[in-house]
Structure 1
Amino acid sequence: MDRTEILRWLHRKLAAPATGTKRRIVRFRRHGDYKRFLNVWTEWAASSAKRERVRHLPLIQGFSFPDEGGASSGFPVKAVWLEADQPVAVDAPNIMPKPTTADRGIPWGVQKIKAPLAWSSTTGHRIKVGVIDTGVDFNHPDLKQSLGRGINLLNRSALPFDDNGHGTHIAGTIAAANQVHGMIGVAPRATVYPVKAFDNNGSAFVSDIVLGIEWCVNNGMNVINMSFGMKSRSKSLLSAVNHAYNSGVIIVASSGNDGKRKAVDYPARYPQTIAVGATTRLRRVAPFSNRGMHIDIYAPGDKILSAWLRGKYNEMSGTSMATSHVSGAIALLLAQHPDLSPGDIKTILKKSMVPLRGTKVPRVTGELDIVRMLQAAER
């Protein structure tokens, strides 16, 4: 594919009006083809008013383009992998958020996994948790000491402010730190770096997630929290997850809220992630939680109180909430054992989990217990 072909394809690709919502990811099979395309695109983008419609995905040697009316045709298919840039959604809560003015303190889920018993020896200090989500409320009193700058992938010139609430709730469970008047998260001295990839409706594309993973890897995140999912497999997303895994970054992902017994959402279904299901106060699998052989561990996810927009608090249920408990727990573990690999951590979690109630085979997958987790890491 020579320079003229690339330019002709780019112009044709972006000739259609930007009215649709479909996108397509193009990944190059050979590094040389990718570099050649990148050089031409970089030069072309400098003078094109439509450059914002193209997303460069260096982590997977690819690009995401608008896909209007089959505009992907004409590309030399033998030189690339083509796939739909699929929509992704944050895991919608099983119940609507409930505002509360009650005393916050230590939420029941943080108590249940025994995080307070670990704080005398580890609080997650110096551990960086990237939260790929809807952003965060930077003005929340319980989060002011717990946040790094992060990035807004939807508007690179702005802070990743939350206009949905989901990301703020996740951040609160991981690392809220306001013991005088507010709530305490699982790892109160860990630092959450919000990566805003989702809009105010909680929607994104796979390419947004790929860019979020790339930012987390390049900026030294120890853990990535992914409280979102999709039903179908994406090779581009798997490629990005593999890159993070091979870089030593732990990815924690929610299983989904469909109440399915043998199905788990992607990316939680990938073996390179830690797949999390949700439990209730009674240590039973929550009715809404997906479950099955792909779940690595369960954690509290039913009626979880955490931070919300405008300095408030909300109660939410979902595997998203369970995932944030596990991300916080891993931050506590890494603060004591920073050299553990993603594989090591999954093994420790599986060794130390507590059997669930009400299951026929309780020893297959259990619930998070931080005290047992830290003990298992010492063996």
Structure 2
Amino acid sequence: MKRWIHVLLAILLFVPAYIGRQQEVNAAGGAEAVVDPLINKALETAGSLQVIVSFKGDGPPTESQLGLLKTLGIKTGVSMKSLPIAGVIATGAQIEKLADSGEVQSVYLNKKLSYYNEEATNVTGVDKVRTDPGFQIANNGLPVTGKGIGVVVNDSGVDGTHKDHEFGKNLVQNVLGSTNLNALEPALLPVTYQENVPNTDTNSGHGTHVAGTVGGTGAMSSGKYEGAAPGANLIGYGSGAALFVLDGIGGFDYAITHQNQYGIRVITNSWGASGNFDPNDPINIASKKAFDRGITVLFAAGNEGPGENTHNPYAKAPWVISVAAGEKNGKLAEFSSRGTKGAGGTFTADGREWTWKDEPTITAPGVDIVSTRVLGPVSSLAAEQDAQTIPTAYFPYYTTMSGTSMATPHVAGIVALMLEANPKLSPSEVKDILQKTATNMPGYETWEVGSGYVNAFAAVDKILNGKEYGKTVNASQTFNSNVQSSTERKEFSVDYNPVTSLSTNQYEFTVEAGLSSLVAKVDGKGMLEQTGNPINLVLIAPDGKEYSSGVSLLFPLYTDRTVSVSSPVSGRWKAEIRGIRGDEANPVGIGLPETVKGTLAFSKVSGFTGLSDIIGHPAAEAIKMGVSERLFDGYSSGAFKPSSLLTRSELAKYLVMGAEIRQFLPASGQNTYSDVSAAELPFAEAAGAKGASFRDQHQIQKGVILPKGTGKFAPKESVTRAELAYSLVQSLGLQKDAENFSGQLTVQYKDERINIEDTFNTPVELKGYVQLALDLNILNASFSVSQGPYDLKPIVKASFNPAGLVARGDFAVAMTRYFNAFLQ
């Protein structure tokens, strides 16, 4: 163990410094080039690679540097015009010789990059909509792109000189519609608009970004940054940087007046105000008139979160779609405005009684969204973020923004896809389908996120193939068990330094009596937030008992550390940051100095129903918390039955409820499983489907529950601990990491890792999942300590019991740990 620790210490503390020194030497000349570690791995399966060769110098590659490539027999490549860089195809031997040259600074693999707008369309299933062969057949052999659907971008304007939404092509009209009453002559005249303006977004850039999110073609990025509906017809209505109520109304007026001319079916509005909903507000009147004419109206929920009662009043109208902003990992963005729990009412408009609720309709990606940039004099609003995320070649054409302003046009584009699939849909039907096909967002209520995260694939699938979605959406369910609880959160930080005393690496706080749970979470991102940090979060109770997060073997990639304590004792607690302990002379341990930031969550249950049999059970507090967050449910009898074995059908239902699993239904009349009841089928189909996990952004991984043979789900069978490890880890989208693991299972015990004694009892295909479940503190090992009469130290052994069956109480504990660590 000590040898392993010393090796890790060398890697963490010596290698970064060595690389830094090597880079300094290389910049000065006279040293071997830096070679990307990924190259050796890639050469295991390829004879030659696409690599990037960076030469020494400030300008383009010199004749002698290009001559070096030719001398080595490298024939395929491209050199930059201003940068000392060439992209080439080279063999391993050629790469080795390049690294030996004094002319070369580095050689790196030309690896695939991920782009934020591309991620957004993956997350919501937009890309899957376009590539699904069944959809193409149902859509007359063509991909669903929003073709022929007119979408009004009612915003600051649109830069029609940008190739992604070029005026006269997919930007079919661009209107300058600022209505400055002070600039008019004293007369009562009809409103006028300046049409056919190539660029109406000369002082903001906001509307251009919105337009690209709706229906940009991605022309300037080879399609990487295309919008949700690249086939839609965009109509820009620009009011400039200063937007007034009359300007907003002007956009609706133009949409209605020119609806037939441009086939306008959607109007997206990434703006709003504060205050209460008023059906007589002129904006609400205008949006209602558009609704009446079959135009689907979308409004941004607002960026005033996370407080309650911050919802855009124009988004509260029952005929509009209100869009909240989500992160791409499925969480709600902190800034996204919330409604008010239980608030709403009824009113009469145009002779019809309407019911409104103060809550968003749906959630969509709204954080770090890359879309089109104004090509004029307007500079980037996020230059630093752009430099980190957008390749240099694309930098002039795209920029990054966050907000419900970015989430709303994404849904507008999805609506265009839906209307292409069925142009006869009314705005009310569009809204209903979006709600019924949403993905549950555990831990949030409808007044925060609406029905959940938007699912474009399911929405279009329902339209084209008549699927009956909606039976798995928490927002429309009636639950057997209910818990009233409240949670208070507090931020804290620790200036961690491995060479100082323990007391300086601690944060003290008070736990009041009567708490049902205490959850502490920190993020050890490491140097420049890139390397990860092998730190351990430990909570120390007033009596000295310790609760540890452990140190994941995946710490460079997954940097969160979470500790959950049920029914914590009252008194003075400590949150301590530790590294992996090296020896007795270094009690603090190995880790990188870092200001570690975290949150403490104090939860208290004030009452519950439908859980008549949990009092006194060790999992009682976890059960109450999980029911409160809608991670699982009790029985209609009013009991939870914590000691009963969990069945596969229950696991499927609870994963869809609480692990953010997408809805999925197979082709009509072709159910995947023949042994599942009609009530259980939607949950089984979702859990078993390819790409079920929300965090599997490309929707290519296996389902989160494996079948029991062809056409068999075995709904009444029990679940083993190894199978539960698979389901929870697969729900995190970690299939690749799990499948790459082999060898001995280990677990963190205090400051060291020890072997799992029953490793070889674990099915080979599930070993990696068990390892990750242990590393991520979702499931625990069992420890035994023995000491013979002559042993100097006790012997600690650990086992996992992979074939052990999971009780419902066991599942409640694991599921709440999963939720606290990864979904909060």
TM-score by length of 2: 0.32
2:227 alignment counterpart:
185
Pair 1:288–1:117, CA change in 2 (3 A)? same
Q: Is the contact between residue 256 and residue 289 of structure 1 (CA under 8 Å) also seen in structure 2?
A: yes
Q: Which residue of 2 aligns with 1:255?
A: 301
Partner of 2:172 in structure 1? 148
Q: State the AA in 2 paired with 1:238.
A: N
Structure 1, unmatched stretches of 5+, are 1-101
Question: Residue 130 of structure 1: SS of its match in structure 2?
Answer: strand
Provide, for residues 21-58 of structure 1, a one-character-per-residue CA deviation record: whole Å limited to 9, x for no partner. xxxxxxxxxxxxxxxxxxxxxxxxxxxxxxxxxxxxxx
Q: Residue 133 and residue 372 in structure 1: after superposition, are their counterparts in 2 closer, same or farther (change >3 A)? A: same
Alignment length, in residue pairs?
275
CA distance in structure 1 between the aligned counterparts of 2:374 and 2:457, rounded to whole angstroms: 32
1:281 alignment partner AA: K
Matched-pair contact (CA < 8 Å) for 2:160–2:174: no
- 5 Å-filtered alignment, 1:274-285, equals 274-285=321-332
- Equivalent position to 1:217, from 256, 259, 271: 256
**Whole-angstrom distance in 1 between the partners of 2:449 and 2:242:** 36
Which residue in 1 is equivalent to 2:456?
370
Question: Pick from 181, 195, 209: which aligns with 1:169?
Answer: 209
Structure 1 CA distance for aligned equivalents of residues 116 and 330 of structure 2? 21
Which residue in 2 is equivalent to 1:348?
Answer: 433
Match of 1:117 among 109, 112, 128: 128
Cα 1:317–1:363 change in 2 (3 A) is closer
Q: Among residues 285, 288, 291, which one is paired with 2:338 in the alignment?
A: 291
Query: Per-residue CA shift, 1:84-107, capped at 9, x if unaligned?
Result: xxxxxxxxxxxxxxxxxx885952
SS in 2 for 1:119: helix
Q: Could you tell me how far 1:337 is from its partner in structure 2? A: 0.6
CA distance 1:238–1:146, change in 2 (3 Å):
same
Query: Structure 1 pair 105/269, CA: closer, same or farther in 2 (3 Å)?
Result: closer
Contact 1:130 1:223 in 2 (8 A): yes
Q: Structure 1 stretch 303-312 or stretch 245-254: which is displaced more?
A: 303-312
Q: Which residue is equivalent to 1:337?
A: 422
Among the aligned pairs, what percent are the same residue?
Answer: 29
Contact 2:158 2:208 in 1 (8 A): yes
Structure 2 match to 1:46: none
Is residue 282–residue 357 contact of structure 1 (8 Å, CA) maintained in 2? no
**Are 2:145 and 2:232, in contact at CA under 8 Å, matched by a contact in 1?**
yes
1:272 is aligned to 319
Q: Take 1:316 and 1:360, find their aligned partners in 2: how far apart are those partners?
A: 26
270, 277, 301: which one pairs with 1:227?
270
Residues 351 and 376, structure 1, Cα contact 8 Å, conserved in 2: no
TM-score, reference length from structure 1 = 0.68
Of the structure 1 ranges 255-264 and 149-158, higher mean CA displacement relative to structure 2 is found in 149-158
Does structure 1 residue 195 correspond to structure 2 residue 237?
Answer: yes
Alpha-carbon shift at residue 219 of structure 1 (Å): 1.3
3-state DSSP class of the match of 1:150?
strand
Return the alpha-carbon distance in structure 1 between the equivalents of residues 449 and 291 of structure 2. Answer: 27
Cα–Cα, structure 1 residues 138 and 103, in superposed 2: closer, same or farther, change >3 Å?
farther
Unpaired runs of at least 5, structure 2: 1-112, 137-143, 180-192, 340-357, 376-395, 468-824
How far did 1:205 drift?
Answer: 1.6
Q: Is the alpha carbon distance of 1:228 and 1:364 closer, same or farther for their aligned partners in structure 2, counting shifts above 3 Å?
A: closer
Structure 1 residues 181 and 258, CA, compared in 2 at 3 Å: closer, same or farther?
Answer: same
2:258 pairs with 1:238: no
Structure 2 distance, partners of 1:184, 1:273, is 25
Alignment partner of 2:245 out of 193, 206, 209:
206
Deviation (angstroms), 1:209: 1.3
Given candidates 145, 148, 151, the residue that maps to 1:126 is 148
CA distance in 2, matches of 1:363, 1:235: 25
Distance 1:147 1:316, change over 3 A: same
Q: 1:360 to 1:302 in 2, by over 3 A?
A: same
Opposite residue 300 of structure 1, the aligned amino acid is: P
Q: Distance in 2 between matches of 1:103 and 1:291?
A: 30
Indicate the residue corresponding to 1:35 in structure 2. none
Report the Cα distance in structure 2 between the residues aligned to 1:211 and 1:161, rounded to whole angstroms. 15
Q: Could you say what the CA RMSD is over the residues aligned between the two structures, in angstroms?
A: 2.2
Distance 1:363 1:136 in 2: 29
Letter in 2 for 1:151: V
Rounded to whole Å, the distance in 1 between the matches of 2:242 and 2:444 is 34
Find the aligned partners of 1:359 and 1:278 in 2 and give their Cα distance.
13
After TM superposition, the runs of 4+ consecutive aligned structure 1 residues lying more than 4 A away are 102-106, 360-364
C-alpha offsets along residues 274-333 of structure 1, whole Å, 9 cap, x if unaligned? Answer: 000000021011000012342000000011111011152111110010001100000000
The change in CA–CA distance for 1:277 and 1:372 in structure 2 (over 3 A counts) is: same
Distance 1:357 1:308 in 2: 35
- The answer for the alignment partner of 1:61 in structure 2 is none
Query: Which letter does structure 1 place at the counterpart of 2:128?
Result: L
Provide the C-alpha distance between the structure 1 equivalents of 2:271 and 2:116, rounded to a whole number of angstroms: 27
Match of 1:327 in 2: 412
Answer whether contact 1:107 1:184 (CA < 8 A) is retained. Answer: yes
The whole-number CA distance in structure 2 between the counterparts of 1:104 and 1:161 is: 27
Q: Select the structure with the greater relative contact order (CA < 8 A; seq sep ≥ 6).
A: 1
Q: 1:148 to 1:363 in 2, by over 3 A?
A: closer
Instruction: Assess if the C-alpha contact under 8 Å between 1:107 and 1:304 holds in 2.
Output: no
Structure 1 contact 284–358 (Cα < 8 Å) conserved: no
Structure 2 vs 1, CA of residues 364 and 154 (structure 1 numbering), >3 Å: closer, same or farther?
A: closer
How far, CA to CA, are the matches of 2:451 and 2:334 in structure 1? 16
CA 1:371 to 1:103, structure 2 compared with 1: closer, same or farther past 3 Å? Answer: closer
2: CA distance, partners of 1:152 / 1:336? 31
Q: Quick one: distance in 2 between partners of 1:266 and 1:252?
A: 13
Report the 3-state secondary structure (helix = DSSP H, G, I; strand = E; otherwise coil) of the residue aligned with 1:276.
strand
Structure label with greater radius of gyration: 2
Is residue 152–residue 267 contact of structure 2 (8 Å, CA) maintained in 1? Answer: yes
Please give the alpha-carbon distance, in whole angstroms, between the structure 1 residues aligned to 2:201 and 2:418: 28
